[in-house]
Structure 1
């Protein structure tokens, strides 16, 4: 099977040679997905706005890889502060509304660069060819 790099406008790593995600056959792994506005590259000051954008950006990455939220097997979320745990659930519930069909989730507390409050990475199993 051939590995395919997945890039999404506005979510790249700049000049670094790192794709936004990578797919081999049905397996999709993302890199870190931030709560940045892909149109302006701005990182909002508000942690909730970052979380909402992060989930929007996750959807963009999934779509670019030929995947959908239902293909996500596990989501790992990093927060800069444990008190921010509540900012995760609104986007989580929007992307994964069915309580009988949600991915596993793990939240870790860790220092993040600059003003970043949250980021995630996903592992998905996808049927079909890359779109």
Structure 2
């Protein structure tokens, strides 16, 4: 090769090396911007995930609340039914005891014991 060709190759190599060096320097100076961009990107992802999780939690909480309300209503109905039944049974027993006590005035202690026993049995049955 001739001397001018050698110079041209040397210039081309030098330009290439210089371009790589400039690119490396630019990459180093853009670290803050890249970090800020990455932080913003991650922040957006976290915010989106947090929103999604919040929606899921709210939906689950609503479902659980609905189930609890339904169960509470069912239990309330059962308790009301049991209370009505206990009231009715107590009334019937009291009427029967009163009738027996009127016919047999000599047995008031037995009547009281029987009433106490029935009330105790009813309370245990409710539990």
Same fold (TM over 0.5): no
Q: TM-score, normalised by structure 1?
A: 0.25
Report which of the two has the higher share of helix: 2
Q: TM-score, normalised by structure 2?
A: 0.26
**Structure with greater contact order relative to length (CA < 8 Å, sep ≥ 6):** 1
The higher radius of gyration belongs to 2
Report which of the two has the higher share of strand: 1
